[in-house]
Amino acid sequence: ISFNNKKGVIRGLHFQKKPFTETKLIKCLKGTIFDVVIDLRKNSKSFGKYFKIILSKKNATGLYIPRGFAHAYYSYDKENIIYYKLDNFYKPQYENGIIYNDKILKIKWPSKIIVSKKDSNLKSFQFFCDNFKGL
């Protein structure tokens, strides 16, 4: 479970490297979030493309994210509770990410963004392509 108590916060774009890539099922139990996933599977027709969706308590929508995707969300509300169901163990040493405002990906985020120091130091999509070659 992830708790967020600030409106406008972006978390991500996070992923775990092999061998600890994860399949995720995400649901917003309280509040509303703008959820984004990026396909990082090197042989996929949608490699480097993103998908966005609004998840909220009100719409009761869940999101299934297969292995090989990066994930991020933006908090529309002051208080959000996000539930994650994972098929693999979280290993901090395998965690990595792509910067939310990458110039190649061109994700259209809502305005008034707050980004953590950790997430603001993530690398570019080009860096991912050059160093990881896909998940």
DSSP conformational letter for 64: E
Q: Record the tokens describing residue 23, joined without a space.
A: 């399949």
Which of 71, 74, 84, 90 is catalytic? The answer is 84
At 69, is the secondary structure helix, strand, or coil? strand
Query: Is 14 labeled as catalytic in the residue annotation?
Result: yes
94 is annotated as an active-site residue:
no
**Separation between Cα atoms, residue 123 and residue 119, nearest integer Å:** 9
Provide the β-strand partners of residue 65.
24
Instruction: Say if strands 24-30 and 80-86 run parallel, antiparallel, or are unpaired.
Output: antiparallel
Number of H helices, E strands in the chain: 2, 10
Identify the active-site residue in 14, 73, 74, 94.
14
H helix intervals, the chain: 117-120, 125-131
Hey, which residues are catalytic here? 14, 84
